[in-house]
A = this chain, B = another copy of it.
Amino acid sequence: MKAHILPIRVYYEDTDAGGVVYYANYLRFMERARTEWLRSYGFEQDRLITDLGIVFAVRSANIDYLRPARFNDMLEVKTRVIDRGRASLAFHHSIEGAQPVGGTVYCRADVKVACVALDGMRPRALPPTIITEIFGDD
């Protein structure tokens, strides 16, 4: 599966007094990327909530910080699905310097996400429309 790419600019709000992107904020960038990945297949999360009563909840995140990104850097968040369960998805994210400079990897992470019912937060099978549209099978 080809990686989805989301360009992200680093603004002051993303940095800290160390002059670099604050470590928790890479997780924000990754969630923006998962949202845009889903949207690229036609799925809007606010519609998934109102129409199907489901949300995606992060179960775990394993992050390696390789080098710090800085104010005004232009980044790319690369996102791939690396595993799929009945009610879960596992993503690999890589946050890199944007092309044409490129080449620098700032951060890598594996993130496991569960599909849960809005009422009660219990696991719910991934909707068939998502499976068909994204993975081409059912």
| A interface residues (Cβ-Cβ under 8 A, vs B) | 9, 11-13, 15-20, 22-25, 27-28, 31-32, 35, 44-46, 55, 57-65, 67-68, 70-72, 121
Among B61, B64, B68, point to the contact of A63 (Cβ < 8 A): B61
Determine how close the nearest CB of chain B comes to the CB of A93; give it in whole angstroms. Answer: 13
Taking a contact as CB atoms under 8 Å apart, the answer to whether A13 and B13 are in contact is no
Determine how close the nearest CB of chain B comes to the CB of A89; give it in whole angstroms. Answer: 15
Question: What separation, in Å, do the CA atoms of A46 and B73 have in the docked complex?
Answer: 9
Among B9, B13, B44, B67, point to the contact of A28 (Cβ < 8 A): B13
Q: A64-B59, A65-B57, A71-B45 are in contact. Are A31 and B27 (CB under 8 A)?
A: no
Taking a contact as CB atoms under 8 Å apart, the answer to whether A11 and B27 are in contact is no
Determine how close the nearest CB of chain B comes to the CB of A54; give it in whole angstroms. Answer: 11
Q: Can you list 16 pairs linking A and B with CB atoms under 8 Å apart?
A: A9-B35, A12-B22, A12-B35, A13-B16, A17-B19, A17-B20, A18-B55, A24-B24, A24-B31, A44-B72, A45-B71, A46-B71, A58-B65, A59-B64, A62-B62, A63-B63
Q: A15-B16, A45-B72 are in contact. Are A27 and B24 (CB under 8 A)?
A: yes
Enumerate chain B residues within 8 angstroms of A45, measured Cβ to Cβ: 71-72
Determine how close the nearest CB of chain B comes to the CB of A136; give it in whole angstroms. Answer: 26
